[in-house]
Amino acid sequence: MRVAVLASGSGTILEAILDAPTTVELVLVDRPCGATDVAEGHGVAWECIERDRYDAGFDRLGYTERVVEALEAHTIDLVVMAGWGTILATPIFDRYAGHILNTHPALLPAFPGWHGVADALAYGVKVTGCTVHVATPDVDAGLILAQEAVAVLPDDTVESLHERIKTVERRLYVTTIHEILDRGSVQ
């Protein structure tokens, strides 16, 4: 399976994937970010399909079509989101149905959305964690592939809890990706 990684941030998940090692054909970013330095450091091709706006005028459909074109140009089979910050439209889920992976810093279906860690702390849970799942048009609603719990400590802040979750997340995500690559399919 030919793998592409979609990233928007510092590239820590991408670094874990590449250090595993995992063969990645393409790193795609939606803005200038540290993930491109990580890709370059590992000799992996990268492209930036930069978002032109972050308001209601954003053309999500047109943007998604450009992402799909880039993935198809590299004959990608498995799309791995690694801190990707742009919600994509239906065309990518039609083209790569069941072949887009994502992670979430909570034990889905609990605390979906952008603020999973803060929401878990605000709710007062004693255990949260991370989830690796198949991405679908409905955010954080796809098939759960793997989960691991992380205890919430009495003095945790959003930042301290998120850092402990990220440590587990990087390991769990890489393990799950490799299991998929070994069997040649997501399910």
Q: How far is CA 10 from CA 7, 40, 84, 90, in A?
A: 8, 13, 11, 27
**Residue 115 annotated among the catalytic residues of the structure:** no
- Alpha-carbon distance of 32 to 7, in angstroms, equals 10
Sign of the Cα pseudo-torsion (90, 169, 82, 97, in order) = negative
User: What SS3 state is found at 131?
Assistant: strand
Residue closest to 127 by CA, chosen among 159, 157, 152, 161: 152
Q: Is 100 helix (H, G, I), strand (E, B) or coil?
A: strand
42, 99, 104, 162: which is the annotated catalytic residue? 104
Query: How many other C-beta atoms lie within 10 A of the C-beta of residue 47?
Result: 18
Catalytic positions are 104
